[in-house]
Amino acid sequence: MPRVVVAAPSSNAGKTSITTGLIAALTARGLAVSPHKVGPDYIDPGYHGLAAGRPGRNLDPWLVGDDRITPLFLHGSRGADVAVVEGVMGLFDGAAHASVEPGYGSTAQLATHLQAPVVLVVDAASQARSVAALVHGFATFDPSVRIGGVVLNRVGTHRHEAILREALGAAGVPVLGAVRRIEDLRTPSRHLGLVPAAERSAEALRTVRALGAVVEASVDLDAVLRLARTAPDLTGDPWDPAAEVTPVAGRPVIAVAGGPAFTFGYAETAELLGAAGAEVVTVDPLRDSALPAGTTALVVGGGFPEVHAGALSANVGLRTAIADLAARGGPIAAECAGLLYLSQELDGEPMCGVLPTTTAMHPRLTLGYRSAVALTDSALAAAGTRVRGHEFHRTTASPAAGATPAWQWNADGPEGFVTGNVHASYLHLNWAGSPMMASRLVSAAARARPEVLSAHR
């Protein structure tokens, strides 16, 4: 699989814009592009997927284990002509966790693991000849990481570009492109980063197409493709969700929350649920007044319910159906945004009322990797199960845990709620790293009674 990793010396250099534009430009050429993102982030893959017309997938060794990185990459790249992998933070920046070595989970580690050349995106807005020292340092810092070329971003004038190219000529790293400052193409942000592509719909598609046009005009795509083809063959087989789970009979229907309020999720979740025997359907809590026919279980992942709290609250029909599903023993798996939606209220707006907690926005960002242990048997995990996940939110739950908590990951005490067949927590998980969760949920769904929804059809 021809492949490149798009990295940068630091965050905010324009990696996502350049990566999205590169994917869009290559796709416009008629190539099937497989988009990937290093790390746990949900938002960037949404733009990648919009540009490629296929799911953007994450590659995060903390969440799924080192041994699954190449198989998951090969799985996501099935049928593609080229793969483009966007990095995270600065090239050599990794997980800040005491249990791993410095640089773990970094873009550099993933590039080395995938034996992929790196395209370094450099923000040139405030520098000239110094760019050569910067690039030279990154190219020589770790011999196992191959910097195959540079894309200069936020270049000012033709003269500025000429100075940058002349300086980099002595650094031995080719310049693959120079992108000018274009303020109109900035993707809007808010409290957790970029606004998800699913929330911007037509506007996001226009932005992606415009980025593609800019990259097409500013970057040597043929040179990028030649660089991608220098990556050696990868050994091993693609990840197979069917090999990770034991299928359950009965084909239970499991609804997965989607739409603009619930945009955070990994593609592997639905694939594992399907492989475990479920019929996976989508429900949009902003628009659907009832759960899909026959639903016996529900998955509510992450997103931005706080932005849509009023509209979510106004959809009384679906809130009531979900509360009834929980009361009748229907399995529900909720994380972060899902916890907010199942709470009594969010910022004063009534929610589903399933959990004995109240949630609200908070000025402090909670962010980081977590190593957690399950405290209570649930539809997702047996007590004592150890998992790796991450937190990413600016909200709080009061109380933070119920009488039978979901997890514990530090000395601050338990977190989350297990009540009946409901499991809710702030912890984000990639089920590819814990596939038994899909098996347990589908098994619980198969045991649930379809008539749980009869009052709402």
Query: What are the two backbone dihedrals, phi and then psi, of residue 208, each rounded to the nearest 5 degrees?
Result: -60, -45
Q: Which helix (H) or strand (E) holds 164?
A: helix 158-169
What is this structure's pTM? 0.94
Spell out the per-residue pLDDT of the chain, length 457, in tens: 999 999 999 999 999 999 999 999 999 999 999 999 999 999 999 999 999 999 999 999 999 999 999 999 999 999 999 999 999 999 999 987 778 898 999 999 999 999 999 999 999 999 999 999 999 999 999 999 999 999 999 999 999 999 999 999 988 899 999 999 876 556 655 444 566 666 667 788 888 999 999 999 999 999 999 999 999 999 999 999 999 999 999 999 999 999 999 999 999 999 999 999 999 999 999 999 999 999 999 999 999 999 999 999 999 999 999 999 999 999 999 999 999 999 999 999 999 999 999 999 998 988 999 999 999 999 999 999 999 999 999 999 999 999 999 999 987 789 999 999 999 999 999 999 999 999 999 999 999 865 544 433 3
Give residues with Cβ within 8 angstroms of 411, minimum separation 6: none
Domain positions in the chain = 3-228, 241-456
Alpha carbons 214 and 3: distance in angstroms, whole number: 21
What pLDDT shows up at residue 202? Answer: 75
Alpha carbons 121 and 56: distance in angstroms, whole number: 20
- Residue 336 is a catalytic residue: yes
User: Which of these is catalytic: 85, 197, 336, 346?
Assistant: 336
Alpha carbons 31 and 16: distance in angstroms, whole number: 20
What pLDDT shows up at residue 205? Answer: 86
What pLDDT shows up at residue 125? Answer: 94
Are the CB atoms for 422 and 353 separated by under 8 Å?
no
CATH architecture for the domain at 241-456: 3-Layer(aba) Sandwich (3.40)
Q: Which two tokens stand for residue 348?
A: 């004063």
The count of residues in the chain is 457
| Class of the domain covering 3-228 | alpha beta
Domains 3-228 and 241-456 share a fold: yes
b/e code 165-193 from CB counts within 10 Å (16+ = b)? bebbeebebebbbbbbeeeeeebeeeebe
